[in-house]
Amino acid sequence: MTDQAVDVGGAAAGQHTGQFLGRQRELKELRADIERAGLDTLSGKKSPRARVLLIAGRPGSGRTALAEELARQVAGDYPDGVLRAQLTEPGGARIPADRVARDLLDALAVPAPPGAGQDELTELVRGALADRRAIVLLDDAADAEQVGPLLPDTSACLVVATARGPLTGIPDVRPCTLGGLDVKSSVELLETHTGSVRVTVDPRAAETLVEACGGQPAALVLVGGWLAARPKAAIADVARQLRAMPGDEPELPLAERPLARSFRLVYESLSQPSARMLRLLSLAPAGIADAHTASALAGCSVSGAQSALVDFTAYGLLRRDAAVPERYRVPASLAPLLRALTEAVDRPGEVQLARARMLERTVRLLQSCRAVTEPPGSPARKKLAGLPRALRFPSAAAADAWLRAHQPALLAAARSAVEDGELDTLARRLVAALVRALAAHRGAEAAAPELYGLHQLVLDVAERRDLHREKAAALLNLGDLDAQTGRTTEALARYRAALDAGRAANDPYAIGRAMESVGGAHQELGDWQRACDWYGRALSQRLARGERADEARLYGRLATVHTYAGRYGEALRGWRAAVAGYRRLGDLPSQARALSEAARVQEYAGRPEESLRTCREAVEQARTAGDLRLQAALQLRLADTLDRLGDPTAARLHRATADRLLEDEAAAARDLRNP
């Protein structure tokens, strides 16, 4: 199948291998346009931005395939490769610029801070491309406003954009407008499906069929797939049948009617169950489906769904994903036709039930994906063993590979579920399962950009449904991510809003957590008085509830702020209270750390002898706890104190002890790895 010659709206068309048919004139013009002198060059200035080539045409005209072929032909001049970004959802909605920028940054392996806005992210993209020589392929742009912020500020890069029409607003861009393929190339495309014999027997019928398809690659692929499935059908018969097909609906532009007729020809040849499954694939998140998605939507077995997906691909109704072979994409040119059919044929209740089945299956897969990371014998692993084989992963590595491959579709499913608004309970479960799976496999820090967006989705649902407890939790999580990336003022606003939501929910945990977080934000901003005030409020709540571990921690946080403020007496009282709290809890390592901090404060206060005694007490507690790394750190602190007291010999002994402890700790770690 000549996928490069046939673009049906997806960005992946050019990722397939195959013969590229036709469009030689357009390719020649586009290549010449790369070297064409622009307005800046004519005025004697060097262009400050990348050259932009625009390929204009309706979905199904082959615009993406042409862009990919052009990129392939000139790739040797751009050693930093090709970056691809989709600018429009299969449903026609614009993809926000911040999401597009994140996709490009991921491809460039450039970290992007969680919660960063569009301007910051697009600036990062331009900065990352400033010293590169790459091709940026922007597929299905809605307008110039989408493309402009992503243009590299260097003439060393080339931007190839596809769109339905001109991108007014980007200077010095001449669109290459696509119509149908020429007759020769169209017939050759048909031959790739039917073989040459049927075309040779009746070449005039082949030309008539090409004319009925308007030379549109997407329409020719559908008709070719239909003919390939019927080796005895004559091309003349299908040409007559196609002309008799309805497709002159007044709402359809004239140029789109051949594709509508070709689609109807194939659709009406499907069995009723297959036709229903195809229609329901319009619900697939981001137009991405696999056997699990199709199985859940149609309510059939996974094996049956897989067989149907293969058949749909042979017809040209789906495209197999080159990067993930078990994944399929709904061509963007067919997505509106599928949606229209679903709305016309399927009852709303049935559609909602299909969507619910899909979300429920996704939740269970994510739960399984997380459970496989738990230790053998854990409750999660026992629950995993009871799941059907189709929902189980054989290993954590297999689950991780699945999560990475399906992450775009999973994130799209979460966004779609929240936007739908009719299945909020399932949407919340899906988001929660996705958060846990990402944290388990990638770690909270590495997955922070995705987690930020997911917590924002939870907040959207909570605000829509007046779920104060969930709102508080989402705001706290978002505040933490803001704080981790240095946006302390934004984090403070989140924490204050979380406190209000926690009070509205009468949730003591959220209230206490929010008050402590507000204190932490003020501490980060250097406002010691407000930090102490909020820590004190949080401590009072913990004392009233008898939450001893939190009490001890808050005494330590208060003591830290007093230390920064130079109030060493209050700081020492705070650390002593923390030590007493950890002693009651029997937490020896935390007790040792609190004693160590108290020793530091004593040294700041000019009481080195007391600091030495306290630090030795901390060392003894760490030794009792068996924490070698903590013992080593405390031995080094003792050495520093002894140096200041004028005893370098004793200081050297403590440093040697610290080195020995670290060696012992490293040896113990090696023994654990290699039992």
Could you read off the pLDDT of 119-169 as tens digits, one per residue? 999 999 999 999 999 999 999 999 999 999 999 999 899 999 999 988 888
Q: What is the pLDDT of residues 14-26, one digit of tens each?
A: 333 356 888 899 9
Distance, CA of 590 to CA of 553 (rounded, Å):
9
316 Cβ contact partners less than 8 Å away, ≥ 6 residues apart:
1, 6, 8, 218, 221, 222, 224, 225, 266, 331
Identify the residue whose tokens are 């532009």: 253
If one counts every other C-beta atom within 10 angstroms of the C-beta of residue 569, the result is: 10
Distance, CA of 490 to CA of 482 (rounded, Å):
7
Pairing state of beta strands 135-141 and 158-163? parallel
- Reported as a pLDDT band with limits 50, 70 and 90, residue 4 is very low
Distance, CA of 646 to CA of 406 (rounded, Å):
62
Distance, CA of 284 to CA of 305 (rounded, Å):
14
Q: What is the pLDDT of residues 619-655, one digit of tens each?
A: 888 888 888 888 888 888 888 888 877 888 888 888 8
Q: List the one residue out of 60, 135, 51, 124 whose CA is nearest residue 90.
A: 60
What stretch of H or E contains 640?
helix 628-644
Sign of CA dihedral 206, 211, 216, 221: negative
Cβ pair 64, 139 in contact under 8 A: yes
- Residue 18: predicted pLDDT: 54
Identify the residue whose tokens are 């750390």: 593
Mean pLDDT comparison of 161-175, 219-233, 488-502, 653-667, highest-scoring range: 488-502
- Reported as a pLDDT band with limits 50, 70 and 90, residue 2 is very low
Helix (H, G, I), strand (E, B) or coil at 157: coil
- Reported as a pLDDT band with limits 50, 70 and 90, residue 46 is low
Q: List the one residue out of 36, 258, 53, 264 whose CA is nearest residue 157.
A: 53
Distance, CA of 71 to CA of 137 (rounded, Å):
8
- Residue 6: predicted pLDDT: 39
- Residue 11: predicted pLDDT: 34
DSSP assignment, residue 182? P
Pairing state of beta strands 51-56 and 158-163? parallel
Identify the residue whose tokens are 């169209």: 186
- Residue 622: predicted pLDDT: 86
Identify the residue whose tokens are 């959220």: 510
Choose the weakest-confidence range: 216-220, 320-324, 395-399, 618-622.
Answer: 320-324
Stretch 245-264: mean pLDDT? 74
What stretch of H or E contains 83?
strand 82-86
Whether the per-residue pLDDT at 672 is higher than 60: the answer is: no
Cβ pair 391, 322 in contact under 8 A: no
- Reported as a pLDDT band with limits 50, 70 and 90, residue 91 is confident
Sign of CA dihedral 671, 673, 674, 675: positive
pTM of the model: 0.83
- Reported as a pLDDT band with limits 50, 70 and 90, residue 93 is confident
Pairing state of beta strands 328-329 and 288-289? antiparallel
Residues constituting the chain: 675
∠ CA(558), CA(561), CA(565), 5° rounding? Answer: 135
How distant is the alpha carbon of residue 665 from its chain centre? 38
- Reported as a pLDDT band with limits 50, 70 and 90, residue 171 is confident
Radius of gyration, CA atoms only, the chain? 32
Helix (H, G, I), strand (E, B) or coil at 593: helix
Q: What is the dihedral of CA 355, 361, 365, 368, to 10 degrees?
A: 140
Angle, helix 508-524 to helix 488-505, in steps of 10 degrees? 160
One-letter amino acid of 113: P
DSSP assignment, residue 160? E
Distance, CA of 208 to CA of 367 (rounded, Å):
54
One-letter amino acid of 137: L
Write out 331-397 in H/E/C secondary structure.
Answer: CCCCHHHHHHHHHHHCCHHHHHHHHHHHHHHHHHHHHHHHHCCCCCCCHHHHHHHCCCHHHCCCCHH
Whether the per-residue pLDDT at 311 is higher than 80: the answer is: yes
State the average pLDDT for the chain. Answer: 88
- Reported as a pLDDT band with limits 50, 70 and 90, residue 75 is very high
Choose the weakest-confidence range: 44-58, 119-133, 533-547, 607-621.
Answer: 44-58
If one counts every other C-beta atom within 10 angstroms of the C-beta of residue 544, the result is: 10
Sign of CA dihedral 153, 155, 161, 165: positive
Tell me how far apart the terminal alpha carbons of the chain are, to the nearest angstrom.
54
Phi and psi at 142, nearest 5°, equal -80, -35
Q: What is the pLDDT of residues 289-301, one digit of tens each?
A: 999 999 999 999 9
Helix (H, G, I), strand (E, B) or coil at 155: coil
For 548, 555, 586, 656, the CA distances from 543, given in Å and listed in that order, are: 7, 11, 18, 43
- Residue 15: predicted pLDDT: 32
